Amino acid sequence: MNSWRPDRESYIPLYLQIEQHIKEKILHGEWTIGTKIPSQRKLAEELQVNRSTVTAAVDELIAQGLLEGKRGGGTKVVNSTWSIMAAAKPLDWSTYVTSGSHQPNSALVQAINQNEPRPDLIRLGTGELSQELLPEKEMAELFREAGTNIFALGYEEPKGSLKLRQSVAEHVKTKEIHASPASIVIVSGALQALQLISIGLLKPNSVMLTENPSYLHSLRVFQSAGVRLKGVPMDESGIKTDHLPAYRRQYEAGLLYTIPSFHNPTGTVMSLKRRKELIALARNHRLPVIEDDAYGDIWIDKEPPPPLKSMDGEGNVLYIGTLSKTVSPGLRIGWVVAPEPVADRLADIKMQTDYGSSALSQWAACQWLSSGRYEARLLRLRKELKIRRDAALRFLERYAGDIAEWRVPEGGFYIWVTFHQAIAVQKLFTRALEAGVLINPGALYLPEDRQSLRLSYSYASLPDLEKGIQTIADIARRFV
């Protein structure tokens, strides 16, 4: 390996850097077929990394067919593409890759996505339920009860299964939202709803307002459609509605996106007063609103105020709901409640992109909503999440109470932790990853942020929560 070392300041994981370096030595003919590479222990010593990091890199190369490892026989180079490269110049796909209209994720998001599958990491940023909290037994029972009364496996109509839309209509009625099945579109999760809205309702170079910080900054959905995001300040009561008229005029904003209940990433709940103000502003300034209610059912201490959509008498609010956060992300089922012309438009675009959400998932979602299982599920889930949230708060107080602050979330998945001083975000992320902890820095949601991180208590086990929080606090203390 000579003097080469992986770059610890890079967002690219160390094992991927090592994999690429070994691959280059093979492709350049430095390590020819039959060459026995250094042992993993020796490579770890030379590169000054953990042995597990080297193991991950070598396993990738074995899976690609470049290396072969035998017990007691070491690891050898068994293949290369040198002769193929010498015979013909390969197609340069990089030109195509960089020309696509959909923007790539940021380097930080890509690094998180690449590392999330690693079983050795403590995931403190993951915004989903842990395996222990998923309803595996209930799901198996649901399918078992179906027996021979099998559900449709063909395509559904453009707006989705009528039975599911009827069940969704009954479900949102409990939130004081009155919608007919014709005004509901079934989508493959809340993210697809945002994608459909971005390409179906907004022109290129449009401006969309959102809270600052915002989950949308971690995506490229609207930016890829040519839509620019402008953040509006928020406080403990939610988005500052008194700023909206000026922002609407200054940027000629075409839409507002908001998560009023258990906001991602801050966990904030918009007050009832602010909600009423927002609805009035939307009406008076003709400002359409996207209400993302992905976390609305996951209240712990008290139920949040009614959704914006329940106060909307003019059809200014597009309401997004989903089962991804409460039942299973694998179902990929959500819905949009909108005026019928908008619902028709979104359904038409959806049919052009994926020809409808999975009929199997739609059937399962309908069973959850129509059988009473969903309400029973929420009661159990809220109890479990309260245990995890309270534990995370204890661990934060124990290990980081002197260097950071946070507000207690009343529901949802997240605690927004803000350090007392600015911190080197990239170094914190890299050092934490090296120590076996994966985090979501605040810069994902507010690009200029250098003091915060989004801590999720929904995924890691209680022992991992404590270990992960202690590790992050110890590392952060070196930088603040």
The 8-class DSSP code of residue 36 comes to: B
pLDDT score of 344 more than 60: yes
Taking the C-alpha atoms of residue 269 and residue 312, their distance in angstroms, rounded to an integer, is 18
CATH architecture for the domain at 107-133+378-477: Alpha-Beta Complex (3.90)
Q: Which of 319, 224, 235, 325 is nearest to 279 (CA)?
A: 319
Structure confidence at residue 89 (pLDDT): 54
Q: Which of 23, 39, 32 is nearest to 73 (CA)?
A: 39
pLDDT score of 460 more than 90: yes
φ/ψ of residue 251, rounded to 5: -105, 0
Structure confidence at residue 150 (pLDDT): 59
Taking the C-alpha atoms of residue 27 and residue 15, their distance in angstroms, rounded to an integer, is 18
Structure confidence at residue 127 (pLDDT): 96
Taking the C-alpha atoms of residue 427 and residue 424, their distance in angstroms, rounded to an integer, is 5
Q: If 0-12 CB within 10 Å is exposed, 13-18 middle and 19+ buried, where does residue 213 land?
A: buried
CA triplet 94, 98, 104: central angle to 5 degrees?
Answer: 120
Q: What is the pLDDT of residues 36-89, one digit of tens each?
A: 899 999 999 899 999 999 999 999 888 888 898 877 778 988 876 654 444 445
Instruction: For domain 14-90, give the CATH number.
Output: 1.10.10.10
Q: If 0-12 CB within 10 Å is exposed, 13-18 middle and 19+ buried, where does residue 101 land?
A: exposed
Taking the C-alpha atoms of residue 264 and residue 217, their distance in angstroms, rounded to an integer, is 11
Contact present, 77 and 32 (Cβ < 8 Å): yes
The 8-class DSSP code of residue 118 comes to: -
31 pLDDT band, cuts 50/70/90, is confident
CB atoms within 10 A of CB 358: 17
pLDDT score of 146 more than 80: no
Q: What is the pLDDT of residues 86-101, one digit of tens each?
A: 444 556 676 777 777 7
pLDDT score of 154 more than 60: yes
Q: State which amino acid sits at residue 15.
A: Y
How many residues comprise the chain? 480
Taking the C-alpha atoms of residue 44 and residue 27, their distance in angstroms, rounded to an integer, is 22
The Cα-based distances of 283 to 229, 251, 289 in angstroms read: 21, 18, 10
136 pLDDT band, cuts 50/70/90, is very high
* 3-class state of residue 204 by DSSP: coil
Q: What is the pLDDT of residues 265-317, one digit of tens each?
A: 999 999 999 999 999 999 999 999 999 999 999 999 999 999 999 999 999 99
pLDDT score of 338 more than 50: yes
Q: Give mean pLDDT, residues 119-130.
A: 96
Contact present, 315 and 174 (Cβ < 8 Å): no
Structure confidence at residue 87 (pLDDT): 46
Pairing, β 184-187 against β 334-337: antiparallel
In the chain, which residues fall in CATH 1.10.10.10? 14-90
Q: Which of 300, 236, 292, 305 is nearest to 266 (CA)?
A: 236
User: Between 154 and 375, where is the model more confident?
Assistant: 375
In the chain, which residues fall in CATH 3.90.1150.10? 107-133+378-477
Q: Give mean pLDDT, residues 245-267.
A: 96
Q: What is the pLDDT of residues 182-226, one digit of tens each?
A: 999 999 999 999 999 999 999 889 999 999 999 988 788 888 888
* 3-class state of residue 232 by DSSP: strand
Taking the C-alpha atoms of residue 362 and residue 152, their distance in angstroms, rounded to an integer, is 10
φ/ψ of residue 151, rounded to 5: -90, 165
Q: Which of 103, 106, 98, 8 is nearest to 447 (CA)?
A: 106
Average pLDDT score, the chain = 91
Q: If 0-12 CB within 10 Å is exposed, 13-18 middle and 19+ buried, where does residue 472 land?
A: buried
Q: Give mean pLDDT, residues 376-402.
A: 98
Taking the C-alpha atoms of residue 454 and residue 95, their distance in angstroms, rounded to an integer, is 35
Determine what percent of the chain is predicted with pLDDT higher than 90.
71
Place of tokens 């250094």: 38
Q: Which of 458, 434, 446 is nearest to 212 (CA)?
A: 446
Q: Which of 195, 184, 192 is nearest to 366 (CA)?
A: 184
In the chain, which residues fall in CATH 3.40.640.10? 151-371
Taking the C-alpha atoms of residue 114 and residue 130, their distance in angstroms, rounded to an integer, is 18
Fold (CATH) for 151-371: Aspartate Aminotransferase; domain 2 (3.40.640)
